[in-house]
C-alpha cells in the first residue's frame, strides 16, 4: 500500500509539472499572438474557422459584402453568409477601452451563448465567443494597441 501511495504522490507531482509547462506555453502563445496582432496594427481580431478578421479601426461594420455595399468584416470570407444581413453589427472601440457590439441585423447574434437581438448592444470581454448566422468567431482584443488608442486619462 505504501508503494502505491508514493506512486500516486509522484504522479501528482508530475501532473503539476506538466500543468505548469502547459500554462507557460499558453502564456508564450498569447504573447506571440499579441505581437503578431500589434505588427498588423490590429486593435482586435475576430478569429473564425477559416479566416482571421483584423479590426484596425475604432468602428467597423460586420456583415455580408455585396457589389453595392462593402463592409469592413465580410463574413462571406468565413463561409456561407446567406443568413447574415448586409449590415449585421457594428463593433466599436469606446474611449474607455471597451469594445461594444451592436446588432443591427434581422437575426440575433449569440454572444457567449446569450442572444443579442436587433437593436441591442453588449460589451465584449476578451475571448468572447460570437455566433452569427451559424458562424463562430472568437473575439481577441489587443490590449497594447487599445491602450495606445485611448486618450489620456481614459482606459
Q: Tell me: the pLDDT tens digits for 69-88?
A: 999 999 999 999 999 999 99
* 27 and 49 fall within a common domain: no
* 34 and 57 fall within a common domain: no
Asked whether residue 153 is assigned to any structural domain, the reply reads: no
The residue with cell 484596425 is 56
* 17 and 36 fall within a common domain: yes
H and E: helices and strands count for the chain: 2, 11
* 93 and 140 fall within a common domain: yes
* 51 and 107 fall within a common domain: yes
Cα distance between residue 83 and residue 19, in whole Å: 41
pLDDT at 53 over 60: yes
Cα distance between residue 26 and residue 105, in whole Å: 36
Give CA separation, 20 vs 14, 16, 31, 57, in Å. Answer: 10, 6, 17, 37
Asked whether residue 154 is assigned to any structural domain, the reply reads: no
**pLDDT > 90: percent of the chain:** 63
Which helix or strand (DSSP H or E) is residue 15 part of?
Answer: helix 2-39
Most confident of the ranges 36-45, 85-94, 141-150: 85-94
Cα distance between residue 146 and residue 96, in whole Å: 9
How many domains does the structure of the chain reveal? 2
Cα distance between residue 88 and residue 133, in whole Å: 10
**DSSP assignment letter at 76:** G
Cα distance between residue 46 and residue 141, in whole Å: 9
Q: Could you list the residue range(s) of the whole structural domain that residue 109 is in?
A: 42-148
Amino acid at each position: 500500500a505504501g508503494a502505491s501511495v508514493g506512486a500516486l504522490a509522484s504522479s501528482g507531482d508530475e501532473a503539476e509539472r506538466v500543468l505548469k509547462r502547459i500554462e507557460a506555453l499558453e502564456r508564450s502563445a498569447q504573447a506571440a499572438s499579441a505581437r503578431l496582432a500589434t505588427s498588423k496594427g490590429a486593435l482586435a481580431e475576430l478569429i473564425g474557422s477559416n479566416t482571421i478578421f483584423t479590426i484596425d479601426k475604432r468602428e467597423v461594420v460586420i456583415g455580408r459584402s455585396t457589389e453595392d455595399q462593402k463592409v469592413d468584416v465580410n463574413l462571406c470570407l468565413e463561409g456561407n453568409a446567406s443568413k447574415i444581413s448586409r449590415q449585421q453589427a457594428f463593433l466599436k472601440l469606446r474611449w474607455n477601452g471597451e469594445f461594444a457590439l451592436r446588432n443591427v441585423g434581422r437575426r440575433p447574434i449569440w454572444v457567449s451563448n446569450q442572444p443579442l437581438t436587433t437593436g441591442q448592444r453588449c460589451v465584449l470581454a476578451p475571448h468572447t465567443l460570437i455566433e452569427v448566422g451559424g458562424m463562430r468567431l472568437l473575439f481577441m482584443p489587443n490590449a497594447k494597441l487599445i491602450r495606445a488608442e485611448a486618450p489620456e486619462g481614459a482606459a
